[in-house]
Structure 1
């Protein structure tokens, strides 16, 4: 996985915006709520939200750790991208998107066309 592959996954999802925050992080958001953050500086690292029940298991798995500053919101940081296959990356990114999208108001989801 690299930044271009990640962008191609994230930008296929409806109503997604991307931007650079904190000087060196590429952030993908839906309705101004982040669902994926990747470092623009090597080595490639990526954070995303996971369901509460998966957080403990994933955050202790090799190549993962609790995401700095976001662990309380059940985000994990992938420190070794090669531990996941492309299909796993796609599944985790789509899952994170879905978790964040579900927290948006019904009105905002309607305005974004993602209800």
Structure 2
């Protein structure tokens, strides 16, 4: 049996992401916990899982891993949802959340990126 994403682990992952510069939490759509940078979503916590943006080149390969599916409503924007930790360690999920933030940040204006040292 693979490690589940229980409430304590989801909270740990959320707190890790919230510690990244510029990240804020918003509650949307009847209780979905949404992490944003400069008003742009990069991760959500809902229904016992975490969803986040991934690089377009990695999307299909990641979706083939156990415990990973395309994120509902966001798959066309290259988001995945983790239901378990079958394919990733906690540290790897934390790194992927940080990478999701950077993917979204990289698409913002040059001035905004400069505020974050990019």
The TM-score by the shorter chain falls in which range? 0.7 to 0.9
Q: 1:69 aligns with which of 54, 69, 73?
A: 73
TM-score (norm 2): 0.85
Provide runs of 4+ in structure 1 moved above 3 Å: none
Which position in structure 1 is the counterpart of 2:93? 89
Which position in structure 2 is the counterpart of 1:36? 43
Count of equivalent residues: 110
Give unmatched runs, 5+ long, in structure 1: none
Which position in structure 2 is the counterpart of 1:4? 11
d(CA) in 2 for partners of 1:78 and 1:11? Answer: 18
SS of aligned partner of 1:100: helix
TM-score (norm 1): 0.87
Q: 1:48 aligns with which of 36, 40, 52?
A: 52
Alignment RMSD (CA, Å): 1.5
Q: Deviations over 1:31-86 (max 9, x none)?
A: 100011001x5xx2110011111100111211001111111111001112454211
Give unmatched runs, 5+ long, in structure 2: none
